[in-house]
A and B are shown apart, each in its own frame.
Chain A
Amino acid sequence: MILSINDLTVSHGEKTIVDRVSLTIDKGEWFALVGQSGSGKTMLSQAIGQLLGPNLRASGSVSYQGSNILEHPKTEMNQLRGKAISYIFQDYHGSFTPFLTIQQHMEEYLQTHGVKEKKKRKNMIKEAFESVGLDVPLVKRYPFQLSGGQLQRASIALALLLEPDILIADEATTALDSVSAHRILSLLQELQQKTGCAILFITHDWRHVARYADKIAVMKDGKIIESGSKQKLIHQPEHAYTKQLIQAAPTLPMRIKEASKS
Protein backbone atom coordinates (compact mmCIF):
# COMPACT_ATOMS: atom_id res chain seq x y z
CA MET A 1 0.00 0.00 0.00
CA ILE A 2 1.49 3.30 -1.07
CA LEU A 3 -1.34 5.73 -0.53
CA SER A 4 -4.41 5.31 1.54
CA ILE A 5 -7.24 7.78 1.67
CA ASN A 6 -9.65 7.63 4.59
CA ASP A 7 -12.90 9.56 4.86
CA LEU A 8 -11.59 12.39 2.74
CA THR A 9 -14.11 15.21 2.56
CA VAL A 10 -13.71 18.39 0.56
CA SER A 11 -16.17 21.17 1.18
CA HIS A 12 -16.80 24.66 -0.05
CA GLY A 13 -18.68 26.50 2.65
CA GLU A 14 -21.76 24.44 3.38
CA LYS A 15 -21.52 22.49 0.16
CA THR A 16 -19.79 19.11 0.19
CA ILE A 17 -17.93 18.37 -3.03
CA VAL A 18 -16.17 15.16 -2.05
CA ASP A 19 -18.05 13.13 0.53
CA ARG A 20 -16.14 10.77 2.85
CA VAL A 21 -14.14 9.02 0.17
CA SER A 22 -11.88 6.12 1.11
CA LEU A 23 -9.58 4.25 -1.21
CA THR A 24 -6.19 2.58 -1.13
CA ILE A 25 -3.65 2.47 -3.89
CA ASP A 26 -1.05 -0.28 -3.89
CA LYS A 27 2.51 0.00 -5.10
CA GLY A 28 2.83 -0.05 -8.87
CA GLU A 29 -0.90 -0.22 -9.40
CA TRP A 30 -3.00 1.46 -12.09
CA PHE A 31 -5.95 2.80 -10.18
CA ALA A 32 -8.70 4.32 -12.30
CA LEU A 33 -11.14 6.83 -10.89
CA VAL A 34 -14.12 7.12 -13.21
CA GLY A 35 -16.97 9.57 -13.11
CA GLN A 36 -18.65 12.25 -15.11
CA SER A 37 -17.84 15.95 -15.01
CA GLY A 38 -18.61 17.55 -11.69
CA SER A 39 -18.43 14.32 -9.70
CA GLY A 40 -15.50 15.64 -7.62
CA LYS A 41 -12.68 13.62 -9.17
CA THR A 42 -10.40 16.57 -9.69
CA MET A 43 -11.06 17.97 -6.22
CA LEU A 44 -10.13 14.61 -4.77
CA SER A 45 -6.87 14.54 -6.70
CA GLN A 46 -6.01 18.09 -5.72
CA ALA A 47 -6.75 17.43 -2.06
CA ILE A 48 -4.08 14.71 -2.10
CA GLY A 49 -1.36 17.18 -3.06
CA GLN A 50 -2.70 20.04 -0.91
CA LEU A 51 -3.46 21.97 -4.05
CA LEU A 52 -6.98 23.05 -3.19
CA GLY A 53 -7.93 26.69 -3.57
CA PRO A 54 -8.22 28.93 -0.51
CA ASN A 55 -12.00 28.55 -0.28
CA LEU A 56 -11.94 24.78 -0.14
CA ARG A 57 -11.42 22.75 2.98
CA ALA A 58 -10.28 19.15 3.17
CA SER A 59 -10.76 16.85 6.16
CA GLY A 60 -10.11 13.17 6.75
CA SER A 61 -6.72 11.65 6.11
CA VAL A 62 -4.40 10.80 3.25
CA SER A 63 -1.64 8.53 4.50
CA TYR A 64 1.60 8.24 2.69
CA GLN A 65 4.41 6.28 4.34
CA GLY A 66 2.45 6.15 7.57
CA SER A 67 1.80 9.85 8.04
CA ASN A 68 -1.17 12.00 7.17
CA ILE A 69 -0.01 14.34 4.43
CA LEU A 70 -3.05 16.54 4.76
CA GLU A 71 -1.48 17.82 7.96
CA HIS A 72 2.00 18.32 6.56
CA PRO A 73 3.36 21.85 6.85
CA LYS A 74 4.22 23.68 3.64
CA THR A 75 7.96 23.06 3.60
CA GLU A 76 7.57 19.34 4.13
CA MET A 77 4.89 19.23 1.47
CA ASN A 78 7.17 21.02 -1.00
CA GLN A 79 9.76 18.30 -0.56
CA LEU A 80 7.17 15.60 -1.02
CA ARG A 81 5.70 17.09 -4.16
CA GLY A 82 7.47 16.01 -7.28
CA LYS A 83 9.45 13.35 -5.44
CA ALA A 84 6.58 11.38 -3.97
CA ILE A 85 3.54 12.68 -5.82
CA SER A 86 3.50 14.09 -9.29
CA TYR A 87 0.75 15.25 -11.60
CA ILE A 88 -0.08 15.45 -15.27
CA PHE A 89 -3.02 17.47 -16.50
CA GLN A 90 -5.46 17.66 -19.35
CA ASP A 91 -4.30 21.05 -20.62
CA TYR A 92 -0.85 20.24 -21.95
CA HIS A 93 -0.38 23.76 -23.33
CA GLY A 94 -1.02 25.29 -19.93
CA SER A 95 1.31 22.80 -18.28
CA PHE A 96 4.41 24.70 -19.34
CA THR A 97 5.42 28.29 -18.71
CA PRO A 98 5.24 29.80 -22.20
CA PHE A 99 8.56 31.64 -22.13
CA LEU A 100 10.73 28.83 -20.78
CA THR A 101 12.08 25.92 -22.81
CA ILE A 102 11.31 22.35 -21.78
CA GLN A 103 14.90 22.02 -20.63
CA GLN A 104 14.65 25.11 -18.42
CA HIS A 105 11.60 23.63 -16.72
CA MET A 106 13.36 20.37 -16.03
CA GLU A 107 16.58 22.03 -14.89
CA GLU A 108 14.60 24.12 -12.46
CA TYR A 109 12.84 21.17 -10.87
CA LEU A 110 16.00 19.13 -10.59
CA GLN A 111 17.77 22.05 -8.96
CA THR A 112 14.93 22.58 -6.48
CA HIS A 113 15.19 18.97 -5.48
CA GLY A 114 18.89 19.14 -4.90
CA VAL A 115 20.52 17.69 -8.02
CA LYS A 116 23.56 19.94 -7.97
CA GLU A 117 25.85 18.67 -10.72
CA LYS A 118 25.10 20.04 -14.13
CA LYS A 119 26.26 16.92 -15.92
CA LYS A 120 23.98 14.70 -13.88
CA ARG A 121 21.03 16.96 -14.54
CA LYS A 122 21.75 16.88 -18.24
CA ASN A 123 21.88 13.10 -18.24
CA MET A 124 18.67 12.82 -16.27
CA ILE A 125 16.86 15.12 -18.66
CA LYS A 126 18.18 13.20 -21.63
CA GLU A 127 17.08 9.89 -20.15
CA ALA A 128 13.66 11.22 -19.26
CA PHE A 129 13.19 12.49 -22.78
CA GLU A 130 14.28 9.27 -24.36
CA SER A 131 12.04 7.23 -22.08
CA VAL A 132 8.94 9.01 -23.36
CA GLY A 133 10.02 8.55 -26.95
CA LEU A 134 10.88 12.12 -27.81
CA ASP A 135 13.91 13.25 -29.77
CA VAL A 136 16.41 14.73 -27.35
CA PRO A 137 17.00 17.94 -29.38
CA LEU A 138 13.34 18.84 -28.79
CA VAL A 139 14.26 19.61 -25.20
CA LYS A 140 15.59 22.98 -26.29
CA ARG A 141 12.25 23.98 -27.84
CA TYR A 142 9.64 26.26 -26.38
CA PRO A 143 6.26 24.71 -25.47
CA PHE A 144 4.41 26.31 -28.39
CA GLN A 145 6.85 24.75 -30.83
CA LEU A 146 5.73 21.22 -29.96
CA SER A 147 2.57 19.39 -30.98
CA GLY A 148 -0.09 18.32 -28.51
CA GLY A 149 1.09 14.70 -28.29
CA GLN A 150 4.71 15.78 -27.95
CA LEU A 151 3.82 18.23 -25.21
CA GLN A 152 1.87 15.63 -23.26
CA ARG A 153 4.87 13.31 -23.56
CA ALA A 154 7.11 16.11 -22.35
CA SER A 155 4.82 16.71 -19.40
CA ILE A 156 5.00 13.01 -18.54
CA ALA A 157 8.78 13.19 -18.75
CA LEU A 158 8.67 16.19 -16.42
CA ALA A 159 6.33 14.44 -14.00
CA LEU A 160 8.46 11.29 -13.87
CA LEU A 161 11.78 13.12 -13.71
CA LEU A 162 12.16 12.59 -9.98
CA GLU A 163 10.71 9.07 -10.06
CA PRO A 164 7.65 9.70 -7.91
CA ASP A 165 5.91 6.88 -6.08
CA ILE A 166 2.56 7.95 -7.36
CA LEU A 167 1.56 9.76 -10.52
CA ILE A 168 -1.82 11.43 -10.65
CA ALA A 169 -3.08 11.77 -14.20
CA ASP A 170 -6.07 14.08 -14.25
CA GLU A 171 -7.88 13.59 -17.57
CA ALA A 172 -4.43 13.36 -19.14
CA THR A 173 -5.64 12.09 -22.49
CA THR A 174 -8.94 13.91 -22.82
CA ALA A 175 -7.61 16.70 -24.98
CA LEU A 176 -5.76 14.37 -27.36
CA ASP A 177 -7.11 12.58 -30.40
CA SER A 178 -7.79 8.89 -29.86
CA VAL A 179 -4.63 7.63 -31.58
CA SER A 180 -2.38 9.95 -29.60
CA ALA A 181 -4.34 9.13 -26.46
CA HIS A 182 -3.71 5.42 -26.85
CA ARG A 183 -0.03 6.03 -27.52
CA ILE A 184 0.20 8.10 -24.34
CA LEU A 185 -1.64 5.42 -22.36
CA SER A 186 0.56 2.60 -23.52
CA LEU A 187 3.59 4.78 -22.83
CA LEU A 188 2.31 5.36 -19.31
CA GLN A 189 1.83 1.64 -18.85
CA GLU A 190 5.31 0.92 -20.08
CA LEU A 191 6.83 3.54 -17.78
CA GLN A 192 4.78 2.29 -14.89
CA GLN A 193 6.16 -1.21 -15.33
CA LYS A 194 9.68 0.15 -15.63
CA THR A 195 9.68 2.54 -12.67
CA GLY A 196 7.11 0.83 -10.49
CA CYS A 197 5.17 3.99 -9.75
CA ALA A 198 1.48 3.77 -9.01
CA ILE A 199 -0.91 5.70 -11.21
CA LEU A 200 -4.11 7.32 -10.08
CA PHE A 201 -5.81 7.72 -13.42
CA ILE A 202 -8.74 10.08 -13.45
CA THR A 203 -11.02 9.88 -16.44
CA HIS A 204 -14.59 9.99 -17.65
CA ASP A 205 -13.84 7.63 -20.53
CA TRP A 206 -14.62 4.01 -19.83
CA ARG A 207 -12.60 2.77 -22.82
CA HIS A 208 -9.28 3.79 -21.26
CA VAL A 209 -10.27 2.11 -18.04
CA ALA A 210 -11.21 -1.22 -19.55
CA ARG A 211 -7.86 -1.63 -21.20
CA TYR A 212 -5.27 -0.39 -18.73
CA ALA A 213 -6.61 -0.25 -15.19
CA ASP A 214 -5.96 -2.79 -12.44
CA LYS A 215 -8.51 -1.39 -10.04
CA ILE A 216 -11.46 0.85 -10.67
CA ALA A 217 -13.51 3.17 -8.51
CA VAL A 218 -16.66 4.82 -9.78
CA MET A 219 -17.45 8.24 -8.44
CA LYS A 220 -20.77 10.05 -8.54
CA ASP A 221 -21.82 13.26 -6.79
CA GLY A 222 -18.75 13.26 -4.57
CA LYS A 223 -19.13 9.67 -3.38
CA ILE A 224 -17.47 6.47 -4.45
CA ILE A 225 -20.38 4.26 -5.30
CA GLU A 226 -18.53 1.17 -6.36
CA SER A 227 -14.93 0.00 -6.43
CA GLY A 228 -13.00 -3.18 -6.97
CA SER A 229 -10.85 -5.03 -9.48
CA LYS A 230 -11.26 -4.38 -13.17
CA GLN A 231 -12.68 -7.86 -13.84
CA LYS A 232 -15.33 -7.49 -11.20
CA LEU A 233 -16.48 -4.05 -12.27
CA ILE A 234 -16.55 -4.77 -15.95
CA HIS A 235 -18.22 -8.16 -15.81
CA GLN A 236 -20.37 -7.94 -12.70
CA PRO A 237 -21.16 -4.31 -12.05
CA GLU A 238 -23.50 -4.02 -9.11
CA HIS A 239 -24.52 -0.45 -9.25
CA ALA A 240 -26.94 0.82 -11.88
CA TYR A 241 -24.76 3.86 -12.55
CA THR A 242 -21.75 1.67 -13.31
CA LYS A 243 -23.80 -0.31 -15.81
CA GLN A 244 -24.89 2.94 -17.38
CA LEU A 245 -21.28 4.09 -17.71
CA ILE A 246 -20.24 0.86 -19.36
CA GLN A 247 -23.10 1.03 -21.80
CA ALA A 248 -22.38 4.65 -22.61
CA ALA A 249 -18.84 3.83 -23.75
CA PRO A 250 -18.78 3.58 -27.53
CA THR A 251 -17.49 0.18 -28.63
CA LEU A 252 -16.95 -1.25 -32.03
CA PRO A 253 -19.47 -3.88 -33.05
CA MET A 254 -18.04 -7.41 -32.92
CA ARG A 255 -18.10 -7.92 -36.64
CA ILE A 256 -15.90 -4.93 -37.43
CA LYS A 257 -13.54 -5.91 -34.65
CA GLU A 258 -13.13 -9.37 -36.06
CA ALA A 259 -12.78 -8.06 -39.58
CA SER A 260 -10.00 -5.74 -38.53
CA LYS A 261 -8.12 -8.59 -36.87
CA SER A 262 -7.84 -10.63 -40.02
Chain B
Amino acid sequence: MSVMAFSPKKIKKAKLWLISALLLVVLAAVAYTFLYLKHAATMTDVGNRLASPSWEHPMGTDHLGRDVMTRLLLGFRLTVGYSMIALLAAVIIGVPFGLLAGLRGGWVDRLFMRIADGFLAFPDTVIAIVLSGLLGPGIGNLLFAIVLVKWVNYARMVRSTVLTEVQKDYITIARINGLSAFTIMRKHLMPHIIGNVLVLASLDFGKIILLISSLSYIGLGAQPPTPEWGAMLNESRPYFQANPEMMIYPGLAIVVVVLVANILGDYLRDKFDVKKEVQP
Protein backbone atom coordinates (compact mmCIF):
# COMPACT_ATOMS: atom_id res chain seq x y z
CA MET B 1 0.00 0.00 0.00
CA SER B 2 1.49 3.30 -1.04
CA VAL B 3 1.31 6.54 0.87
CA MET B 4 -1.13 7.86 -1.71
CA ALA B 5 -3.68 5.37 -0.47
CA PHE B 6 -4.43 7.65 2.48
CA SER B 7 -7.20 9.84 1.20
CA PRO B 8 -7.97 13.13 2.98
CA LYS B 9 -11.08 11.48 4.29
CA LYS B 10 -9.10 8.64 5.83
CA ILE B 11 -6.64 11.08 7.37
CA LYS B 12 -9.51 13.06 8.82
CA LYS B 13 -10.99 9.90 10.28
CA ALA B 14 -7.65 8.86 11.70
CA LYS B 15 -7.28 12.32 13.21
CA LEU B 16 -10.65 11.99 14.88
CA TRP B 17 -9.69 8.59 16.31
CA LEU B 18 -6.41 9.98 17.55
CA ILE B 19 -8.09 12.88 19.30
CA SER B 20 -10.70 10.67 20.89
CA ALA B 21 -8.13 8.13 22.07
CA LEU B 22 -5.78 10.75 23.50
CA LEU B 23 -8.61 12.67 25.10
CA LEU B 24 -9.76 9.47 26.71
CA VAL B 25 -6.27 8.85 28.11
CA VAL B 26 -6.15 12.38 29.51
CA LEU B 27 -9.57 12.06 31.08
CA ALA B 28 -8.74 8.63 32.49
CA ALA B 29 -5.56 9.98 34.02
CA VAL B 30 -7.38 12.91 35.57
CA ALA B 31 -10.13 10.64 36.87
CA TYR B 32 -7.55 8.27 38.31
CA THR B 33 -5.94 11.01 40.40
CA PHE B 34 -9.28 11.70 41.99
CA LEU B 35 -9.99 8.08 42.74
CA TYR B 36 -6.82 6.52 43.99
CA LEU B 37 -3.30 7.64 44.70
CA LYS B 38 -0.77 5.31 46.26
CA HIS B 39 1.65 8.04 47.31
CA ALA B 40 1.30 11.65 48.33
CA ALA B 41 2.80 14.01 45.79
CA THR B 42 4.93 15.82 48.32
CA MET B 43 5.92 12.88 50.52
CA THR B 44 9.70 12.75 50.50
CA ASP B 45 11.74 9.63 51.12
CA VAL B 46 15.34 10.72 50.89
CA GLY B 47 16.64 7.21 51.56
CA ASN B 48 15.04 6.08 48.31
CA ARG B 49 15.98 9.04 46.07
CA LEU B 50 16.51 8.73 42.32
CA ALA B 51 15.29 5.13 42.38
CA SER B 52 14.88 3.10 39.20
CA PRO B 53 11.40 2.02 38.09
CA SER B 54 9.86 -0.66 40.26
CA TRP B 55 6.39 -1.96 41.09
CA GLU B 56 6.26 0.45 43.96
CA HIS B 57 7.36 3.40 41.79
CA PRO B 58 6.61 2.64 38.09
CA MET B 59 8.47 5.75 36.94
CA GLY B 60 11.04 5.81 39.69
CA THR B 61 11.52 8.54 42.28
CA ASP B 62 12.98 12.03 42.02
CA HIS B 63 15.82 13.74 43.83
CA LEU B 64 13.82 13.92 47.05
CA GLY B 65 12.48 10.38 46.78
CA ARG B 66 8.98 11.46 45.67
CA ASP B 67 7.05 9.15 43.35
CA VAL B 68 7.37 10.56 39.81
CA MET B 69 4.23 8.92 38.45
CA THR B 70 2.05 10.37 41.18
CA ARG B 71 3.48 13.81 40.53
CA LEU B 72 3.06 13.44 36.80
CA LEU B 73 -0.60 12.45 37.12
CA LEU B 74 -1.34 15.25 39.55
CA GLY B 75 0.49 17.56 37.19
CA PHE B 76 -2.04 16.56 34.55
CA ARG B 77 -4.80 17.81 36.74
CA LEU B 78 -2.96 20.98 37.68
CA THR B 79 -1.68 21.97 34.26
CA VAL B 80 -4.90 21.17 32.43
CA GLY B 81 -6.93 22.71 35.23
CA TYR B 82 -4.91 25.93 35.32
CA SER B 83 -5.19 26.36 31.55
CA MET B 84 -8.91 25.72 31.71
CA ILE B 85 -9.31 28.35 34.40
CA ALA B 86 -7.22 30.87 32.46
CA LEU B 87 -9.08 30.12 29.24
CA LEU B 88 -12.50 30.32 30.83
CA ALA B 89 -11.67 33.61 32.52
CA ALA B 90 -10.34 35.03 29.24
CA VAL B 91 -13.53 33.99 27.43
CA ILE B 92 -15.82 35.27 30.18
CA ILE B 93 -14.09 38.64 30.17
CA GLY B 94 -13.42 38.90 26.45
CA VAL B 95 -16.81 37.93 25.01
CA PRO B 96 -18.96 40.55 26.81
CA PHE B 97 -16.42 43.28 26.08
CA GLY B 98 -16.38 42.29 22.41
CA LEU B 99 -20.18 42.25 22.29
CA LEU B 100 -20.39 45.62 23.97
CA ALA B 101 -17.76 47.18 21.70
CA GLY B 102 -19.36 45.75 18.56
CA LEU B 103 -22.92 46.64 19.44
CA ARG B 104 -22.42 50.05 21.04
CA GLY B 105 -19.72 51.36 18.75
CA GLY B 106 -18.62 54.97 19.25
CA TRP B 107 -16.21 55.87 22.03
CA VAL B 108 -16.81 52.62 23.96
CA ASP B 109 -15.58 50.71 20.95
CA ARG B 110 -12.61 52.98 20.37
CA LEU B 111 -11.50 52.85 23.99
CA PHE B 112 -11.62 49.05 24.21
CA MET B 113 -9.92 48.53 20.93
CA ARG B 114 -7.05 50.88 21.75
CA ILE B 115 -6.51 48.97 25.00
CA ALA B 116 -6.59 45.75 22.99
CA ASP B 117 -4.11 47.14 20.47
CA GLY B 118 -1.79 48.01 23.34
CA PHE B 119 -1.81 44.41 24.55
CA LEU B 120 -1.44 43.00 21.08
CA ALA B 121 1.60 45.13 20.36
CA PHE B 122 3.75 42.84 22.52
CA PRO B 123 4.16 39.06 22.28
CA ASP B 124 2.11 37.12 24.86
CA THR B 125 5.16 35.66 26.55
CA VAL B 126 6.83 39.03 27.06
CA ILE B 127 3.77 40.58 28.71
CA ALA B 128 3.22 37.51 30.85
CA ILE B 129 6.86 37.54 32.01
CA VAL B 130 6.79 41.25 32.79
CA LEU B 131 3.49 41.05 34.67
CA SER B 132 4.33 38.00 36.72
CA GLY B 133 7.77 39.48 37.33
CA LEU B 134 6.18 42.67 38.62
CA LEU B 135 3.56 40.92 40.73
CA GLY B 136 6.00 38.36 42.03
CA PRO B 137 6.28 34.68 41.15
CA GLY B 138 3.36 32.38 41.92
CA ILE B 139 0.72 30.51 39.98
CA GLY B 140 -2.08 32.94 40.88
CA ASN B 141 -0.19 35.91 39.48
CA LEU B 142 0.82 33.92 36.42
CA LEU B 143 -2.80 33.01 35.69
CA PHE B 144 -3.79 36.63 36.16
CA ALA B 145 -1.12 37.69 33.68
CA ILE B 146 -2.24 35.08 31.14
CA VAL B 147 -5.88 36.10 31.40
CA LEU B 148 -4.90 39.73 30.96
CA VAL B 149 -3.01 38.83 27.80
CA LYS B 150 -5.59 36.45 26.33
CA TRP B 151 -8.95 38.17 26.83
CA VAL B 152 -7.99 40.67 24.15
CA ASN B 153 -8.09 38.03 21.41
CA TYR B 154 -11.63 37.04 22.32
CA ALA B 155 -12.86 40.60 22.58
CA ARG B 156 -11.44 41.41 19.15
CA MET B 157 -12.80 38.33 17.50
CA VAL B 158 -16.29 38.71 18.96
CA ARG B 159 -16.32 42.37 18.00
CA SER B 160 -15.42 41.67 14.38
CA THR B 161 -18.04 38.92 14.16
CA VAL B 162 -20.66 41.24 15.61
CA LEU B 163 -19.72 44.05 13.23
CA THR B 164 -20.07 41.90 10.12
CA GLU B 165 -23.30 40.25 11.25
CA VAL B 166 -25.04 43.36 12.55
CA GLN B 167 -24.99 44.94 9.10
CA LYS B 168 -26.96 42.09 7.62
CA ASP B 169 -30.65 42.46 6.93
CA TYR B 170 -31.80 39.69 9.22
CA ILE B 171 -30.73 41.72 12.23
CA THR B 172 -32.64 44.71 10.85
CA ILE B 173 -35.65 42.51 10.23
CA ALA B 174 -35.44 41.12 13.76
CA ARG B 175 -35.41 44.72 15.01
CA ILE B 176 -38.27 45.69 12.73
CA ASN B 177 -40.28 42.84 14.08
CA GLY B 178 -39.96 44.21 17.54
CA LEU B 179 -37.41 41.88 19.12
CA SER B 180 -35.46 43.34 22.00
CA ALA B 181 -31.72 43.90 21.67
CA PHE B 182 -31.08 41.17 24.20
CA THR B 183 -33.14 38.59 22.32
CA ILE B 184 -31.44 39.48 19.07
CA MET B 185 -28.08 39.04 20.73
CA ARG B 186 -28.97 35.75 22.31
CA LYS B 187 -30.82 34.09 19.48
CA HIS B 188 -29.44 35.64 16.30
CA LEU B 189 -25.87 36.57 17.15
CA MET B 190 -24.66 34.15 19.83
CA PRO B 191 -24.57 31.00 17.67
CA HIS B 192 -22.18 32.74 15.27
CA ILE B 193 -19.98 33.76 18.14
CA ILE B 194 -19.98 30.49 20.07
CA GLY B 195 -18.54 28.52 17.16
CA ASN B 196 -15.73 30.99 16.65
CA VAL B 197 -14.97 31.22 20.35
CA LEU B 198 -14.84 27.45 20.67
CA VAL B 199 -12.33 27.14 17.84
CA LEU B 200 -10.14 29.95 19.13
CA ALA B 201 -10.30 28.58 22.67
CA SER B 202 -9.23 25.09 21.69
CA LEU B 203 -6.35 26.51 19.65
CA ASP B 204 -5.38 28.70 22.60
CA PHE B 205 -5.57 25.81 25.05
CA GLY B 206 -2.27 24.30 23.92
CA LYS B 207 -0.61 27.71 23.88
CA ILE B 208 -1.68 28.43 27.43
CA ILE B 209 -0.42 25.07 28.67
CA LEU B 210 2.92 25.84 27.06
CA LEU B 211 2.95 29.34 28.53
CA ILE B 212 2.20 28.12 32.05
CA SER B 213 4.77 25.36 31.82
CA SER B 214 7.49 27.51 30.32
CA LEU B 215 7.01 30.28 32.85
CA SER B 216 6.94 27.75 35.67
CA TYR B 217 10.14 26.32 34.24
CA ILE B 218 11.92 29.63 34.56
CA GLY B 219 10.55 29.97 38.06
CA LEU B 220 7.81 32.58 37.56
CA GLY B 221 4.79 30.29 37.82
CA ALA B 222 4.06 27.32 40.07
CA GLN B 223 6.60 27.01 42.87
CA PRO B 224 8.10 23.78 44.15
CA PRO B 225 6.92 21.43 45.57
CA THR B 226 3.79 21.91 43.37
CA PRO B 227 3.78 19.02 40.90
CA GLU B 228 3.28 21.29 37.88
CA TRP B 229 5.06 19.97 34.81
CA GLY B 230 7.10 23.06 34.09
CA ALA B 231 8.16 23.25 37.73
CA MET B 232 9.00 19.54 37.64
CA LEU B 233 11.23 20.12 34.62
CA ASN B 234 12.94 22.93 36.46
CA GLU B 235 13.53 20.83 39.55
CA SER B 236 15.03 17.97 37.62
CA ARG B 237 17.47 20.12 35.66
CA PRO B 238 20.49 19.44 37.90
CA TYR B 239 19.95 15.67 37.52
CA PHE B 240 19.62 15.76 33.76
CA GLN B 241 22.78 13.83 32.96
CA ALA B 242 22.49 11.07 35.54
CA ASN B 243 18.69 10.66 35.48
CA PRO B 244 17.37 12.02 32.17
CA GLU B 245 13.99 10.26 32.57
CA MET B 246 13.07 12.78 35.27
CA MET B 247 12.92 15.41 32.56
CA ILE B 248 11.62 13.15 29.84
CA TYR B 249 8.35 12.24 31.60
CA PRO B 250 6.99 15.75 32.21
CA GLY B 251 8.39 16.91 28.87
CA LEU B 252 6.58 14.16 27.02
CA ALA B 253 3.42 14.84 28.97
CA ILE B 254 3.48 18.49 27.86
CA VAL B 255 4.08 17.49 24.24
CA VAL B 256 1.19 15.02 24.22
CA VAL B 257 -1.35 17.35 25.84
CA VAL B 258 -0.41 20.31 23.64
CA LEU B 259 -0.61 18.06 20.58
CA VAL B 260 -4.08 16.86 21.54
CA ALA B 261 -5.21 20.42 22.12
CA ASN B 262 -3.88 21.54 18.73
CA ILE B 263 -5.38 18.64 16.80
CA LEU B 264 -8.70 19.25 18.55
CA GLY B 265 -8.48 22.93 17.62
CA ASP B 266 -7.75 22.11 13.98
CA TYR B 267 -10.61 19.67 13.87
CA LEU B 268 -13.06 22.19 15.34
CA ARG B 269 -11.84 24.88 12.97
CA ASP B 270 -12.51 22.62 9.98
CA LYS B 271 -15.87 21.71 11.42
CA PHE B 272 -17.00 25.32 11.90
CA ASP B 273 -15.43 26.71 8.75
CA VAL B 274 -18.34 28.37 6.99
CA LYS B 275 -16.37 29.10 3.86
CA LYS B 276 -15.77 25.44 3.23
CA GLU B 277 -19.47 24.70 3.10
CA VAL B 278 -19.93 27.06 0.19
CA GLN B 279 -17.29 25.37 -1.89
CA PRO B 280 -18.50 22.35 -3.83
| Complex-state Cα separation, A21 to B212, whole angstroms | 63
Least CB distance, B170 to chain A, in whole angstroms: 5
Residues of B in contact with A, size category: 10 to 19
At the interface, yes or no: B20 with Cβ under 8 Å from chain A? no
Tell me the residues in window 163-208 of chain B with beta carbons closer than 8 Å to chain A beta carbons. Answer: 168-170, 172-180, 183, 187-188, 191
| Complex-state Cα separation, A86 to B172, whole angstroms | 11
Overall SS of chain B's interface = helix
At the interface, yes or no: B280 with Cβ under 8 Å from chain A? no
Interface stretch, picked from A87-95, A193-201, A221-229, A239-247, is A87-95
Question: In the complex, how many residues of chain A place their beta carbon closer than 8 angstroms to a beta carbon of chain B?
Answer: 28
Q: Which residue of B lies closest to A82 (CB)?
A: B177
Taken residue by residue from 55 to 99, chain A's Cβ proximity to chain B (1 for < 8 Å, 0 otherwise) reads as 000000000000000000000001111110111010100111111
Name the B residues within 8 Å of A99 (CB-CB): 191
Overall SS of chain A's interface = loop
| Complex-state Cα separation, A80 to B183, whole angstroms | 17
| Cβ–Cβ contact A112 & B169, under 8 A | no
Residue of B105, B175, B177, B183 contacting most chain A CB atoms (<10 Å): B177
Q: A78-B180, A94-B168, A108-B187 are in contact. Are A158 and B175 (CB under 8 A)?
A: no
Select one of B106, B176, B187, B191 contacting A82, CB under 8 A.
B176
| Cβ–Cβ contact B170 & A81, under 8 A | no
Name the B residues within 8 Å of A80 (CB-CB): 178
At the interface, yes or no: A54 with Cβ under 8 Å from chain B? yes
At the interface, yes or no: A212 with Cβ under 8 Å from chain B? no
Name the A residues within 8 Å of B187 (CB-CB): 97, 100, 108
Name the A residues within 8 Å of B178 (CB-CB): 78-83, 109, 112-113
Name the B residues within 8 Å of A96 (CB-CB): 170, 173
Q: A94-B170, A95-B170, A97-B188 are in contact. Are A54 and B177 (CB under 8 A)?
A: no
Q: A94-B168, A99-B191 are in contact. Are A112 and B173 (CB under 8 A)?
A: no
| Cβ–Cβ contact B176 & A81, under 8 A | yes
Name the A residues within 8 Å of B105 (CB-CB): 54
At the interface, yes or no: A49 with Cβ under 8 Å from chain B? yes
| Cβ–Cβ contact B172 & A89, under 8 A | yes
| Cβ–Cβ contact B170 & A87, under 8 A | no
| Cβ–Cβ contact B179 & A112, under 8 A | yes
| Complex-state Cα separation, A46 to B16, whole angstroms | 49
| Cβ–Cβ contact B176 & A54, under 8 A | no
Least CB distance, B267 to chain A, in whole angstroms: 20
Given A86-B177, A109-B179, 20 more pairs with CB closer than 8 A: A51-B172, A51-B176, A78-B179, A79-B178, A81-B175, A82-B176, A82-B178, A85-B176, A86-B176, A91-B168, A94-B170, A96-B173, A97-B170, A97-B188, A99-B191, A108-B179, A108-B183, A112-B177, A158-B173, A162-B177
Tell me the A residues contacting B by CB distance below 8 Å. Answer: 49, 51, 54, 78-83, 85-87, 89, 91, 94-100, 108-109, 112-113, 155, 158, 162
Query: Can you pick out 27 interface pairs between chain A and chain B where the beta carbons lie within 8 Å of each other?
Result: A51-B176, A54-B106, A78-B179, A81-B175, A82-B176, A82-B177, A83-B178, A86-B177, A89-B169, A91-B168, A91-B169, A94-B170, A95-B173, A96-B170, A96-B173, A97-B187, A98-B170, A100-B188, A108-B187, A109-B177, A109-B178, A112-B178, A112-B183, A113-B177, A113-B178, A155-B173, A158-B173
